[in-house]
Structure 1
C-alpha cells in the first residue's frame, strides 16, 4: 500500500495544475524544478510531496482521464 497524502498537498497540487495547465509533466524531477519557479513552497519535503502528487495526477491524465475524473476516482 502507498502512503496517504494530506488534503493540503492534494489541494495545492490541483490548484497549481489548474493555474498552470501546460507546465507540469509526468516527470518528477521536472515538476520539482517547475514548483520552485511558480510557487513559494516553504520546505523541500513539502515541495517533494506536492511534486510527487502532481506527477501521479499527470500520469493518470496522460492515460486519458481528465483532472476531475482523476480526483473523483481517488487516484492517490
Structure 2
C-alpha cells in the first residue's frame, strides 16, 4: 500500500496543477524538472514528493 501524503504536499501539488495546466504528465522525471523550474523548493525530498503526487494524479486522470 502507498503512504499517506501530508496536506501541504497535496495542496502545493494541486495549486501547481491548476496554475500550469497541461505542463505535467505521467512521467516522474519530467514532473520533477517542471516542479524545480516553476517553484523555489530547495529541499530535494519535498520536491520529489510533490512531483510524485502530481505523477500519481496524472496517471489516475489518464494524462
What TM-score, normalized to structure 2?
0.94
Offset, 1:61: 1.2
Q: CA RMSD in A?
A: 1.0
Q: Secondary structure at the match of 1:41?
A: coil
Offset, 1:62: 1.4
Larger radius of gyration: 1
In the TM superposition, 1:1-76 aligns within 5 A as 1-62=1-62
Relative contact order higher in (CA < 8 Å, ≥ 6 apart): 2
1:15-49 CA distance string (max 9 Å, x none): 00000001000000000001111111130000000
Q: Write out the 4+ residue segments of structure 1 that deviate beyond 3 Å after TM superposition.
A: none
Which runs of no fewer than 5 residues in structure 2 stay unpaired?
Answer: none
What TM-score, normalized to structure 1?
0.79
How many residues in Structure 1 have an aligned counterpart in Structure 2? 63
Which runs of no fewer than 5 residues in structure 1 stay unpaired?
Answer: 64-76
| Equivalent position of 1:67 in the other structure | none
